[in-house]
Amino acid sequence: MIIKTDDLIQNKDIFRFILDSLELSHTDSGFMELTKENENIFIDFYHWLNRINDQLNMNININIIDSFSLSVEDVNKLMSPYK
């Protein structure tokens, strides 16, 4: 999927709302579906969010962006006290 820069700039609030919902879903239970096979999708998304946040001044909360940076190893470390 290709998103035009102008569309993002013109719809910052809508994009941030969608991103907030996606982040909530990901941190609530979506991370449990994270595997070595698909973690690169999330890491790439994390890098893309950082890039557009800087380049387009999207004002995305850094904590929201960071939630997509978790690797399988990171999640395992976070969950290990509960195992």
- C-alpha span between 2 and 24 (Å, rounded): 23
- State the pLDDT at residue 31: 77
- The string of pLDDT tens digits covering residues 28-77 is 887 788 999 999 999 999 999 999 999 999 999 999 999 999 999 998 88
The reported pLDDT for the residue numbered 1 is 64
Instruction: Please tell me the predicted confidence (pLDDT) of residue 28.
Output: 85
What residues contact residue 23 under an 8 Å CB cut-off, 6+ apart? Answer: 64, 67, 68
The reported pTM is 0.87
